[in-house]
Structure 1
Amino acid sequence: MAIFSIARGKNYWQIVARYPHCDLVRKDDKKQIINWLMKLKGIAFNHAQRTTDKLIELAHLAYPVVSCSDIEVQQAKYYAQRLLNLSNQRQRIITKMVKLAKTLPNHDLENLESIPGFAQTTAVRVLAELGDLRRFSNPNKINAFIGIDPGRYQSGEMESNLSITNHGNAVACKLLYRAIGQIDNAAKTNPCHIADYYESKKLSSQTKGFKKIAIASIHKLIRTIYALIINDQPYDYNVATHNQKDFSRN
């Protein structure tokens, strides 16, 4: 929907819950909509004004096939509110997970949060899925636990069979896959050797097989996570790039 360009996440679904039909937008005047939007998190006056203008524009362009009192509109409102409730429940669970992680006799959570692009939510979810990484004797065993086929992983080389297998922890795999994108985005202001590798492989790739490049990047991320946990140290870009050069020479 066009409204995605001006509202995302919880704010988007709160707008859908309040205005699931164009006639509901038309019933409120501009000032009412602006004042309501400003009650949402992160929306100041200018943002609220732009969003209101867009809502009104879309409301006048729409040609609904049902009235605002029909069951379909009520269902849209119900499901939007259901998503909001689930989002709030998820946040409460994440908060409990963070509180529990901070009571552990180590700095695992803080060390993972130090990786560029690793927000606290990502860090605590990775810890929850992988558990205590000290039980693994090397990073390759973490690969097997997650379900990533190591293929050929030497000096950044990748064979065509590099893939995600059908066994392993699919949730952890998805988390780490998404984390590569987060790390790459964060690298614009906070450099990371994993983002360097990902971008260099994309530029040098003869095909559009970015998924395989992301999987290879997950290998580097797993090695990094393992090193931070085992050595109980935060991420340092200079140390990581130095170690990467030593690894490549070996």
Structure 2
Amino acid sequence: MKALAEQVLALEAAQDQQVVRMMTLGKSLSEFTLLQTIPGIGGSTAIRLISELGDIRRFNTRQQLNSYVGLDTTEVDSGDHQSARHITKHGNPHARRILYWTVVLMLNPKMGNNHIRDAYEKRREASSSKKKLIVRQMDRLIKTILYLIKTNQPYSYELSPQSK
């Protein structure tokens, strides 16, 4: 058991070293810098998103990126029965996890003002499910990321619709 624990620790250390190497290489990418302007996204998260999503410019719409990540919704219909809408989870589970934890981090007041938290707070009392609301904010984050990279602009809270 001790040997397995040591193996896990060694693998985690190797993974951390790889992320540091990737961050060094990623500093030359404009996407790396742009993603870090979003509150809650640091160097490690930015490079992990870039590595999981690849060239984000290849997606023309937010729906395409949502589908790639597995956030596109579906509902099951059978006769008179209709189920609630849920995400398909067919896409990249690693990118989905990174986006989920980024949104959770962005909801923390210590992250400063951001439009993700504003939209979450605005809809929190009306929503029946915290997870559904977080998935909605993941969609909003994808929309923001796609916009910033396509327009090559840094994040600005003042330009977001919720800040007005």
AA at the equivalent of 2:14: Q
1:147 aligns with one of 51, 70, 74: 70
**In 1, are the aligned partners of 2:69 and 2:95 still within 8 Å (CA)?**
yes
Number of the residue aligned with 2:6: 81
- Residue 23 of structure 2, aligned match among 88, 95, 98: 98
% identical equivalent positions: 35
In the TM superposition, residue 150 of structure 1 has moved relative to its aligned partner by: 4.4
Alignment of 1:220 with 2:140, yes or no, is: yes
* 1:123 equivalenced with 2:46 (yes/no): yes
SS of corresponding position for 2:110: coil
Q: CA deviation at 1:189?
A: 4.6
TM-score, length basis structure 1: 0.57
Q: Which runs of 5+ in 1 are unaligned?
A: 1-74, 152-159, 246-250
Match of 1:241 in 2: 161
**Against the structure 1 CA distance between its residues 180 and 93, is the aligned structure 2 distance closer, same or farther, given a 3 Å change threshold?**
same
Whether 2:29 is the aligned partner of 1:109: answer: no
How high is the TM-score relative to the length of structure 2? 0.85
Deviations for 1:46-97, whole angstroms, at most 9, x for unmatched residues?
xxxxxxxxxxxxxxxxxxxxxxxxxxxxx2x434332321221011110121
Give the residue type in structure 1 aligned to 2:23: V
**Which residue, out of 214, 217, 231, partners 2:151?**
231
- Which letter maps to 1:196? D
Higher RCO (CA 8 Å, separation ≥ 6 residues): 2
* 1:171 partner amino acid: H
Residue deviations 1:21-51 (CA, integer Å, cap 9, x gap):
xxxxxxxxxxxxxxxxxxxxxxxxxxxxxxx
Q: Highest Rg: 1 or 2?
A: 1
Q: Which runs of 5+ in 2 are unaligned?
A: 75-83
